[in-house]
Structure 1
Amino acid sequence: MSRSLTVSLVQINPTVGAVSANLDRIAAAHARAAAAGADLVVTPELALSGYPPEDLVRRPAFLARIDAALLDLARRAAGGPPLIVGAPRPRAGDGIRACANVAVVLAEGRIAAEIDKAHLPNYGVFDEARVFFPGPLPLPVTIAGVRVGVMICEDMWYADVARHLKANGAEILVVPNGSPFETDKEGERLAHARARVAETGLPLLYVNQVGGQDELVFDGASFALDAAGEEALRLAAWREDEGMAVFREGEGGFSCAAAALAPEMESWESLYHALMVGLRDYIGKNRFPGVLLGLSGGIDSALAAALAVDALGPERVTCVMMPSPYTSRDSLDDAAAVAGFLGCRLHEVGIGPAMRAFADMLAPHFTGLPPNEAEENIQSRARGLALMALSNKLGPMVLATGNKSEMSVGYATLYGDMCGGFAVLKDVYKTEVFALCRWRNAHRPEGGLGPQGAVMPERVITKPPTAELKPDQKDEDSLPPYSRLDAILARLIEGEEAPEKVVAAGFDADEVKKVWRLLNVAEYKRRQSPPGVKTTRLAFGRDRRYPITNGFRD
């Protein structure tokens, strides 16, 4: 008789450190899978602790709680199918790295096997080599009579782990993951998975987590590949989901039966969901009652407000107009229209009195000096002060609205428009802001709590961007047009190209030199900016780390 193995993929949204809540979520999913007839249940990488746990794994009390939770979960899963759950586990390491990143197999009320992650990523946002001890190349485990080869996340990106599992009798490959979202990364994951299938001839199951964790956001989109490398099953992106992959043995070995494929999202839809989910979970998991943001009538604050309403609902979003003598009537009308479209609260706090107070206070020190950015920045900082005061008094977290283009070249004011607990657009270029606004005006995201239809007037998208800190000010007075600026920045940052290579690609040499200089000197500002959703390969912060004090120039 040919053999089969029915595997439940459990794509969950854990919270780092919330061990009891994660345990309950996993146990409930295991019970549902057992009732549906699963032979094996698979959860994402480090699902019990949440991913990435960072230095929590250095806390003996945290590891002790994980150990107790594993035993509790084993008892609760007894009588049902085996469960593969990710958890940090103590190891005899080097004194600094005292544990491993482990896929724990729970069966018959006990820990039946432990598979340590062999390849520890140590690039970009990942520093697992700093906190985890690497394991040896793994061996297959037998589940329901089938030899299952477990590769934890990064182990799938190397050929040696799958090859070793195949050589030792593996019949199916199972990959628990904590793979953060980046634009275009989904295709890269699929390519690596297909490479492992092609090399081994084995079908593969890939289970990814979903949800936000600080700057990182996970898109789920778990899948199964048959022995030919074709997708047989795909779970939904950007929400918790569960599915059953049925593996059956044939003459050439096991393959995965065709099942439902969740629809794929186009790029702007996926990016919008990344920002919405990242903001929703940052606010929710940190227990903020809502958000408060300055609504200027410009495109960045309009998009940030729309994302907040979609993520949290209009009742948890408060917008504040803070006009100065330089604020145009159009800006006031547009800000009011955005709040009206979204259905959220709108307050008005004029900053004229603060400007006059600072002018009087500083007059003895400014006498005889021409106006410059000092007066402009006072306006921005007065707005930041007002928002922080409202936050302290009312409770919602201040949401910063700056974008990656501005943060790249330092076109932002420390302690002013950079104020906030989270910067939802921090890794989104200005040209992408325009595209996302057009997408949201035409579509309502699945799971979004905002309105159907447009969320901002067309004029918000089409008018020239301006900070309105002095008469007739436009962003292009200080910067190249955003279409050129963003193209240069993408080459310098994500492409890591030398300035001369950017010039050779057809960009103006003086413009490239100016952007490169601004990018370098703004590092001190970026280091003081709030966290924000990572969406690109090189986000500022944990990805791109340049010294502030830096004497090198090229």
Structure 2
Amino acid sequence: MIKIRTAQLAAVPSHIRKNLKQIEKEAALARAEGAHILVLPEMCLTGYLIGDLWDQNAFLKECERANEKVAALSKGLTIVWGSLAVDWDLINDDGRPRKYNAAFAASNGHFIYPEGSPLPFTVKTLLPDYRCFDDRRYFTSLESLALEEGKRPEDILAPFVLPAGKEELRCGIVLCEDSWDENYRISPMSILAEKGISLFLNLSASPFTMGKDGKRHRMFSESLSRLSIPMLYVNRRGLENNGKDCYTYDGMTAAYDKDGQLIAEANPFTDERSTFYFNQENLTLAPETEMEPTDENLLLPAFRYGTSEFLKAIGASKVVIGVSGGIDSAVNAALYRSILPAENILLVNTPTRYNSELTKGLAAELAKNLGCQLLTVPIGDFIDETADALEGLPLPDDTVHLTGFMKENMQARDRSSRILAALSAAFGGIFTCNANKTETTVGYGTLYGDLAGAF
């Protein structure tokens, strides 16, 4: 019986040394537990959505050294991990050094080569280029590598034979998209299945999206039942900010039997470690402890986890929120209150003469319900003074006349860029905005007003 341990690491984007420390800890725990194999996620040393860092040679070399250090950790243990591989003798399409999104394996301090391969790693075959992914810009795929060498992907994609105590495990290691193959012309899993493997290991860095886990179960179940081979899926956790969007990774390590049935799933957004036992004779995979499939409604946990990770990443623990008495600011305040203690949240109502007693009362009621302090800062005088100073000033063909709509936008900007920004500095935190991307796409958001704020 082969004992396999998994860890859904929260890779810190671009921080190789921190991630290596995590792997050192996981290797020590796996060895202490008597595991034969430790399986870690895709790009667990570097993070994934790190943009132009992929083009920094010093970063690439640091990653290479870290891969060697992970291999050195494999004394008495087999470690499988996803990371960057570099071939300095070849170039990518952009003329920079050749980079691969790759999977490595090592045992007793040495890299394990896939069968018949001159490379001590396997290369990701299918490179996504949708939503947040831009893999083709930075990496070379196994399919492109095969074409370059005058071969087929079938000629290069090969199983690993992993030492596992007194046994050897012949497995197919695939990286994330390589199992999401229904819209591609080749299937890496089908290629590996024909080469006599007994288990798939899928190393993933797959961001959370609504309903993704359901689609994964459907796709993996269909593929695995057709191939009659079980699978361990190991996904990372954490948050990555590519400058435009923040993406959460849910983990949700999962096991599927050879009939494609989901038999175990780790809790999302947690540092859960899972142990499985694999019997090669009958291809049965079983969790050490019962793991119930998770609730499908993961939207709120994703919001909480992503927001918490964002605050942690920027070193913030206090938040100022403008509350109008409306639903948007109420939802935002409730979200942050579910993450932070009441004393770390400052709610601010900024009324003008146009605000009703009802909305001001609702803002006060919200603060009371959440147990947070509320400041009321009337801003009508500010707006009027600014408007009076501008009204009637000469323009090339006219004079300045501020409409009611323009004054509303002035209010939004005064609230955010003056009041909330100043109070957040005094409070020792950040301020957030109550706008959202749906509003932004239709132009319903005030630049430097509703759209201001850290997150």
- Please tell me the TM-score bracket, short chain as reference: 0.7 to 0.9
Q: By how many angstroms is 1:18 displaced? A: 1.6
Q: Aligned runs of 1:403-422 on 2, under 5 Å?
A: 403-422=436-455
- 2:300 corresponds, among 272, 281, 288, to 272
Aligned partner letter, 1:377:
N
1:106 is aligned to 106
- 1:132 corresponds, among 135, 139, 142, to 139
2:317 touches 2:340 (CA, 8 Å); kept in 1? no
2:392 touches 2:400 (CA, 8 Å); kept in 1? no
1:459 is aligned to none
Q: By how many angstroms is 1:82 displaced? A: 1.1
1:352 is aligned to 380
Q: 1:175 to 1:40 in 2, by over 3 A?
A: same
Alignment of 1:377 onto 2:377 = no
Q: Aligned runs of 1:422-461 on 2, under 5 Å?
A: 422=455
Q: 1:334 to 1:187 in 2, by over 3 A?
A: same
1:256 is aligned to 285
Aligned partner letter, 1:57:
W
Partner Cα separation in structure 2 for residue 405 and residue 66 of structure 1: 38
- Identity of matched residues, %: 30
2:86 is aligned to 90
Partner secondary structure for residue 183 of structure 1: coil
Cα deviation, 1:217-272, whole Å, max 9, x if unaligned, reads: 1122110001111122210012221111211123xx412125522342242xx111
Q: Aligned runs of 1:167-316 on 2, under 5 Å?
A: 167-214=194-241, 215-250=246-281, 253-257=282-286, 259-267=289-297, 270-316=298-344
2:23 is aligned to 26
Q: By how many angstroms is 1:74 displaced? A: 2.7
2:70 is aligned to 73
Q: By how many angstroms is 1:369 displaced? A: 4.6
Aligned partner letter, 2:176:
C
Cα deviation, 1:36-86, whole Å, max 9, x if unaligned, reads: 2211111111011112232211111111221222223333x2324211122
1:213 touches 1:281 (CA, 8 Å); kept in 2? no
Cα deviation, 1:100-155, whole Å, max 9, x if unaligned, reads: 11112132123333121111101121110111111254211111211011010000
Q: Aligned runs of 1:144-163 on 2, under 5 Å?
A: 144=164, 145-158=168-181, 160-163=187-190
2:159 touches 2:170 (CA, 8 Å); kept in 1? yes
Q: 1:314 to 1:131 in 2, by over 3 A?
A: farther
Cα deviation, 1:466-498, whole Å, max 9, x if unaligned, reads: xxxxxxxxxxxxxxxxxxxxxxxxxxxxxxxxx
Partner Cα separation in structure 2 for residue 29 and residue 340 of structure 1: 44
1:213 touches 1:278 (CA, 8 Å); kept in 2? no
1:175 touches 1:206 (CA, 8 Å); kept in 2? yes
Q: By how many angstroms is 1:393 displaced? A: 4.6
Partner Cα separation in structure 2 for residue 370 and residue 82 of structure 1: 70
TM-score of the two chains, using structure 2 as the length reference: 0.86
Cα deviation, 1:2-43, whole Å, max 9, x if unaligned, reads: xx3221121121110121111111221222222222111111
2:38 is aligned to 41
What is the number of equivalent residue pairs in this alignment? 414
Partner secondary structure for residue 99 of structure 1: strand
- 2:433 corresponds, among 397, 400, 408, to 400
Partner secondary structure for residue 263 of structure 2: strand
1:334 is aligned to 362
Moved segments of 4+, more than 6 Å: none
Q: 1:98 to 1:275 in 2, by over 3 A?
A: same
1:483 is aligned to none
- The more displaced of 214-223 and 96-105 is 96-105
1:115 is aligned to 122
1:384 touches 1:416 (CA, 8 Å); kept in 2? yes
2:147 is aligned to none
Partner secondary structure for residue 257 of structure 1: strand
Partner Cα separation in structure 2 for residue 398 and residue 98 of structure 1: 42
Partner Cα separation in structure 2 for residue 263 and residue 348 of structure 1: 46
Aligned partner letter, 2:225:
A
Cα deviation, 1:438-461, whole Å, max 9, x if unaligned, reads: xxxxxxxxxxxxxxxxxxxxxxxx
**Root-mean-square deviation over aligned CA pairs:** 2.0
Partner Cα separation in structure 1 for residue 301 and residue 131 of structure 2: 22
Q: By how many angstroms is 1:420 displaced? A: 1.2
Partner Cα separation in structure 2 for residue 266 and residue 149 of structure 1: 29
Q: 1:283 to 1:377 in 2, by over 3 A?
A: same
